[in-house]
Structure 1
């Protein structure tokens, strides 16, 4: 593995960890600020719907159901865009992450101007749009294939951390990134909850900013890799 590949893989890991933190922020905003709906962690919505169907504790049904559907729509759209692109980061990856950034930014502005929490329809639209954007993010992150990092769920990460630990007789592979993902999604939830003390839009804006940073850094690194690969190919051709 070349030095450039190592540097790129390490950067991708850090970028996906940033998005994991961002997911924690968004889920805290959705659950605490928009009638107990997860817009990033779909496992939570499935469980909520299962309990709600039995009339448990007056749990919401419409918003979690819509979030689940629109998350799948976002993931499907991103999957279609990325399917024709190469593995790893590409121009298509940059475009889908940019879509996430633009979507979150527009939604933050909209929520800042309109009291969506006070209107049932507007609140449902907001959570549905958030879920769509998070579906795009999750599908794009999956395409990068950063081991043990999905950005939207950590149950499998927690399982891997425990079952592969030295306590379980394993060698604790990927323990640092697994522990980091768990800590960061929790830290994101803390930050998301704190932003609600200011207003609903702030948590969405924080996630938009983080998405913009990830998109920019990832795209710049991709351009460097492409440029470096082109230079290497030219050099090899000259030696033939």
Structure 2
């Protein structure tokens, strides 16, 4: 692995940690909506449509649409950039961090209503879709920053109990551990203030962006 590849891997793992934070805020603090893990939203939406569960329909549906829109925008913006990390990559990651800080400011200052919660989770999902598409462009194998199901599958399938090849188990295990720790940290910070986890996530994303830009 080259130095650049090691740097990119580390930065994508940090972004995976922030996804855990944001999902804890969306699900526990706002409207039972995942802003990064769209598999969770599909499941929540399916159960909600069955009725009688008390789960939201509008929030997950808008988050799914928003995530898709953000990912499409990121893909379009990077479609003609051959570099894994160029100025556009920096700009997009920085935008995600700034959006998180702006949403945290709203949570810290605005009156809470269901409409406000839905708007915040939708915008956060758009930002997470943008981040996911940008991370996909950086192309660190096994680390998407928003989902770890594939990492868990790879860990199990390539383990001693599976085909025995091992595969890139360290980065897979790291992605799983970091999204778990991010969710733990986000849930813990909610006891302090609803805005705190998003402030931390936004700051970490901007720090990651600065480190990536410097390395590039």
Q: Deviations over 1:128-160 (max 9, x none)?
A: 110011111000001111010011000111000
* Aligned counterpart, 1:91: 87
TM-score, normalised to structure 1's length? 0.88
Aligned equivalents of 2:36, 2:86: Cα separation in 1: 24
* Aligned counterpart, 2:12: 16
Structure 1's unaligned 5+ residue stretches are 223-240
Aligned-pair distance for 1:24?
Answer: 0.3
Larger Rg: 1
Q: Deviations over 1:159-213 (max 9, x none)?
A: 0000011221322111001011101100000000011101111010110011011
Whether 2:206 is the aligned partner of 1:217: answer: no
Aligned-pair distance for 1:70?
Answer: 0.5
Tell me the number of residue pairs that the alignment of Structure 1 and Structure 2 aligns.
216
Whether 2:58 is the aligned partner of 1:69: answer: no
1:174-213 correspondence runs (5 A): 174-213=168-207
Structure 1 runs (4+) deviating above 2 angstroms are none
Whether 2:85 is the aligned partner of 1:124: answer: no
1:138-177 correspondence runs (5 A): 138-177=132-171
Kindly indicate which of the two structures has a greater share of residues assigned to helix: 1
* Aligned counterpart, 1:113: 109
Aligned equivalents of 1:169, 1:198: Cα separation in 2: 45
Whether 2:78 is the aligned partner of 1:82: answer: yes
| DSSP 3-state at the match of 2:50 | coil
Structure 2's unaligned 5+ residue stretches are none
RMSD: 1.0
Bigger drift between 10-19 and 164-173 goes to 164-173
